[in-house]
Amino acid sequence: MLEQIRAFLSGLGGDDKSSRPDTSNPDVAAVALFYHVISADGVVDRAESETLRKMIAEEYADSSTSAEALLKAGEKADRESVDLYAFTSVLNRSLDLEGKTHFIELLWRLAYADGHRHELEDHVVWRIADLMGVSSRERVLARQRALERAGIVDGEEPRDEV
């Protein structure tokens, strides 16, 4: 009986489950959060898209999952999500503290890919770090490493008006 109710409710979504991204996959969850960060300011520019593609190819894509498929699944998962917790909880189960800190650094790299510091992107990264249990200190150090890698001196990057 309970299974029939679940089947009925899942059918209300209008699409079959096979077309839904597997949000329990840590790679899909990570890419969904990447999309969430780069779209936080309402603009996904070319530099952010290119950085995201390069990052996926270097960090996430393997022989069983193409980078393009992972990008599509992550983007769709982000569009269909209602909160960050669904993704951060998956990553919390699959990453140790070092892995979480590295992930936050990747988020910062994406946030600064366009050369601008936007407070909405800052807030999203802060919120994700908080949900993942990454301390303020580690979050700031990860940001500094991302800034250094991007060649941006902290405090001198251009700021967008909000």
Q: Please indicate, yes or no, if residue 132 is contained in any of the structural domains.
A: yes
Domain of residue 146, residue span? 23-150
Q: Please indicate, yes or no, if residue 91 is contained in any of the structural domains.
A: yes
Q: What is the CATH number of the domain that holds 62?
A: 1.10.3680.10
| pTM confidence score | 0.81
Q: Please indicate, yes or no, if residue 160 is contained in any of the structural domains.
A: no
Number of domains in the chain: 1
pLDDT tens digits, 124-139: 999 999 999 999 999 9
pLDDT tens digits, 11-66: 555 555 556 788 889 999 999 999 999 999 888 899 999 999 999 988 876 655 68
Q: Please indicate, yes or no, if residue 96 is contained in any of the structural domains.
A: yes
Q: State how far the Cα of 76 lies from the Cα of 109, in Å rounded to an integer.
A: 22
Q: Please indicate, yes or no, if residue 4 is contained in any of the structural domains.
A: no
Q: Please indicate, yes or no, if residue 8 is contained in any of the structural domains.
A: no
Q: Which residues contact 154 (CB under 8 A, 6 or more apart)?
A: 143, 144, 147
Q: Nearest 5 degrees, angle CA 146-CA 32-CA 108? A: 10
